[in-house]
Structure 1
Amino acid sequence: MRLRRLPLTFACLACFVVSICRSADVEFVRVWPGWRNAESFETISEYFTGREHHGSHVVLRTHPDARAGFYFLVRVANSGGARANAQFTLQVITPDSPDPKTYQFPVDLPDRGTVYQLGLTGPAWPDSSAHPVAWKLELKAADGARLASAQSFLWEKPAK
């Protein structure tokens, strides 16, 4: 009887290990929030061509025509396959309101590590002197499954 349970136990254990490994296919290696002036995006390539060049970074902005803003530089590691129609969901609590503001950035996630710069630009961010009180960032698959998440220390603190 015990020998019959062994394959079943092994199969269950294998499924559990695969599910854990699969969920760790995508992770945020690091998230760096901070203000960036419009001039910080200018490159020598842009000087000669007139077109903005990001190198290996993917730059996504709330207002694509405005460069200055508060950015979340996100290094994503993806050891799994490419994922089309993924989406970053960024929630930010600003100094002027206790209610979080939500921003969404659609993205096709390649099957390798990538650096993203998620910019709150134009009217989405007041100026360089403003800093978020708290923030939470999630990366979701096309079906809504959470692939990765990160948050600031104050995001997890309960309201009093």
Structure 2
Amino acid sequence: MIAWDGPAGRVLPVVTAPAPVLSAVGAEVDPCSPEIVQLAADLVATMRVSPGCVGLAAPQVGVGAQVFCVDVTGHPKASTTHGVFVLCNAKVIEASRWKAGREGCMSVPDLTGDVKRAGRVVVSATLPGSGEPVTVTTDAFEARALQHEIDHCAGKLFLDRVAGAHAVYQRKVYL
């Protein structure tokens, strides 16, 4: 079971590019430390109040750490979903079924871009609080979200993965 059941968190401000923390590799963390458990809770709280947000990584709230949350529940592009979960020190250990797809990011609020990602991934990580090792196997939109957040923890934005300027678009604003 990977669903988040930790403490309530605080809503934190989201940093935007070109903030240096977004291009730095995050530090591996001790998933059992109280600071990391609180950070996990804060990430979930911040994601929940952010319209359209399906994932949020520690660097996006100014913390250079390998921690992120994901929840694609109810998203029209989601097929597989594990609900709300937080992972520490996550690594993709298998990737297949590569496909391009449009991505956006709270840290790059004005742009979207076409990024080629694996449509099926297996990710190994640890859970905050317990430090329990987990393996997450998923596909489609949830796989894309995991890869996007793992990239944040490695100091990469989706803009680092687009094929070129022709694959970057101004975000549409709906009033």
Structure showing greater Rg: 1
TM-score (norm 2): 0.22
The structure with more strand, counted as a fraction of residues = 1
Q: TM-score, normalised by structure 1?
A: 0.24
